[in-house]
Amino acid sequence: MKKTLFLIFSILLLIGCNTEKENNIHEYYGEALGTTYSVKYFSNEELQFEKSLDSILDDINSSMSTYITKSDISKINRGDTTVEVDDNFIKVFNASEKIFKESNGFFDPTVGVLVNAYGFGPGKALKAIDSVKLDSLRKLVGFDKIRIQSDKTIKKENPAIYIDFNAIAKGYTIDVIAEYLESQDVENYLVELGGELRAKGKNLDNDLEWIVGIDDPDQEEGEKRKLYAKLKLVNAAMATSGNYRKYRTDSLTGQKYVHTINPKTAKAEKSNILSASVIAENCMLADGYATAFMALGLERTKSTLEKLEGVEVYILYSTENGGMEIFQTPGFQENIVE
């Protein structure tokens, strides 16, 4: 479950506008993919950014939006075997397959049927879930049960398998926006979509690295925003997955926990990870890994990280006595600022 866990500094919170200043700052704010976005970049050129952004979003939505009935993914989910997927779909599919394998199946874009069954998603929850029903649903889960064929059509072992790239497509969208800016020779930018980020160069307003923050999960709704940490984001991307303000508390121990779905057992399990922030070379991978780590839990995440390169994490987790602790990799810690 994704939530906006970042606070971006040095920008004004404006919606649906573009501002330009004497030092060639360009700032755009608006709504896209069901959330808000902000883009800040420095350029001496007029890029027609809004037109390019609309084109990027239209292409990605028509390929992978489960909310658009005529999108490729919606047609595939309805059982259409004639759809030839585009490069956007293929790139996200391949990245999902990579993380699926690296996480031993805990990151799985076909898990939506289970999420809905337990009442954690947008679909209607089942009134009762027994072992027979779980066995039936589990047959529809498994990213290794689908593949892209040579003619770019999708082959599913079961026509009812439902694909949902929402846990990784937002990060991919940020990457496409960033790649467009770089194709226009923009060397300093910060792109944010729904709290996920990709940065390059510096904030030339102050000639310093881009500074972002991680929210405190304990703050109450409507309370003045509190940060748990601030960090530099230097030529990298960052995404957070978490059940922000959605955790439960054990009445006996006081320990906070969230429910996550184990795709391998089809069961809802308790997890003490409240949020996982990931820095990676691109936002698509950061997005996918953040989701995977929430499902893996703390100890399995630590084991998985030993096999990964270029991935840094900052995890907030609940202790048995109800406190909150931090696990972070050395590479992430190097970017923390006071």
Domains and CATH numbers, the chain: 82-164 (1.10.3980.10)
CB atoms within 10 A of CB 76: 23
Provide the 3-class DSSP secondary structure of residue 31: strand
Q: Please, are residues 161 and 140 in contact by the beta-carbon 8 Å criterion? A: yes
Distance CA 232, CA 332 (A): 9
Phi/psi of residue 221, nearest 5 degrees: -60, 130
Distance CA 77, CA 56 (A): 23
Q: Which of 210, 208, 191, 204 has its CA nearest to residue 23?
A: 204
Quote the DSSP letter at residue 143: G
Indicate whether this model's pTM tops 0.95: no
Count Cβ atoms within 10 A of the Cβ of residue 1 and give its class: 0-12 exposed, 13-18 middle, 19 or more buried. middle
Distance CA 110, CA 132 (A): 19
Q: Which of 208, 207, 209, 274 has its CA nearest to residue 236?
A: 209
User: Which residues are CB-neighbours of 166 under 8 A, at least 6 positions away?
Assistant: 2, 66
User: Which residues are CB-neighbours of 235 under 8 A, at least 6 positions away?
Assistant: 199, 200, 201
Over the chain (338 residues), the average pLDDT of each successive run of 10 is 39 38 80 90 91 95 94 95 98 98 96 79 68 86 97 96 93 98 97 94 95 73 69 96 59 59 80 90 97 92 96 91 89 93
pLDDT at 255: 54
